[in-house]
Amino acid sequence: MGARLDDFRRTRIPQHRRDAHRRGGDRGDRACAGETGFSAARAVYGRALGDDVVNKTTERARSAYRAGITLLVVAALYEAVARSGLFPAALLPTLPKVAATFVTGLLDGTLIEHAFYTMYRVLFGLALAIAVALPLGILMGRFRPIESFFLPLASAFMPIPSLAWVPLFILWFGLGNTVAILIVFYAALFPMLLNAWSGVRAVNPLWLRAAGAMGADERALFWKVIIPGASPFIITGLRQAFLRAWIAVIGAEMLAASDWGLGWVIFDAKEFLNADVMLASLAMIGLIGFVFERAVFGSIERATIMRWGMIRTA
């Protein structure tokens, strides 16, 4: 009976239909094989991505561990010298005394209030510097006549230390916030300006030609090519500008501030040999700088140049 049914099928079903049916089965097998290959590739990519995340997390943990070891070694050396008797206790206080002064300043609000005044001067002057230097640096990088006019001026003024202007600014503007903010502005201006200029000049001309060939206008070139391409330099300029501004504001507060600011606290504590107050203020300065480096600039990097793929994430 089975043999007769096979003979009937071969007789009643044309050969071209049997061939088409066979080809359809082959295509189905290939499709299944393709899906299997895609699933395997996706699984491999997922494992590789997971391994990459694990490696990055492990590297961050190792970096934090090394930083912790370094801090512990430095703290142990300092404590050993402080307890050795080489210096008077009033001039080189122990770490517990410095920590107690730091905590007391936080709890009574004095240290926080002085830090607020310092941060106000830093951020105000830094914002002014960015508002002037960033667009000017981009224009210098894009247009040669503007570069030819401003670059010699920047080269002439940049070597002058910002604190060298303090006596002259005091004569012009008196003591107080104005002098400190202007000193911060001057200190932060040139790192931001020159890094923005260098970043625009470093953009690959091939990117610009390719974008122009695809019909990009000047606005699209600016936002889609120039800014992403120059962003590593701009972020570096922000970091350098903040560092220079932070250094400048402490010096300006020592020389020109009236009553408030971490620099003023350090300078005033010197008159009374309060080394623990000076060291607690220095610790506050370092803590604020660390927070800005990790939280602020790290977030800017993740939101811009890491997302654009301009640098490899750590």
User: For residue 61, what are the CA distances in angstroms to 50, 57, 67, 121?
Assistant: 17, 6, 10, 35
Does any domain span residue 72? no
Does any domain span residue 99? yes
pLDDT of the residue at 47: 53
Domain of 168 in residue numbering reads as 91-303
Does any domain span residue 310? no
CA atoms within 13 A on the CB side of 57: 6
Does any domain span residue 314? no
Same domain, 269 and 237: yes
pLDDT of the residue at 207: 74
Same domain, 50 and 118: no
Same domain, 159 and 294: yes
Same domain, 46 and 169: no
Same domain, 122 and 177: yes
d(CA 252, CA 244): 12
pLDDT of the residue at 91: 85
d(CA 81, CA 79): 5
Q: Is 90 helix (H, G, I), strand (E, B) or coil?
A: coil
Same domain, 112 and 35: no
Same domain, 208 and 119: yes
pLDDT of the residue at 56: 57
- Check residue 164 and report its DSSP letter: G
**Nearest partner of 253 among 101, 121, 148, 110, judged by Cα:** 121
Same domain, 96 and 14: no
Same domain, 31 and 165: no
One digit per residue, the tens of pLDDT, for the chain of length 314 reads 544 444 444 545 555 455 545 555 554 444 444 445 445 545 544 454 455 545 556 776 777 778 788 888 988 898 888 888 888 888 888 899 999 999 999 998 899 999 999 999 999 999 999 999 999 999 998 889 999 999 999 999 989 999 899 999 999 988 888 899 999 999 999 999 999 999 888 887 777 777 777 777 777 777 777 788 888 889 889 988 998 999 899 989 888 866 788 999 998 888 888 899 999 999 999 888 888 877 777 777 666 655 555 555 44
User: For residue 204, what are the CA distances in angstroms to 25, 136, 149, 312?
Assistant: 52, 20, 24, 18
pLDDT of the residue at 306: 58
- Number of folded domains that form the chain: 2
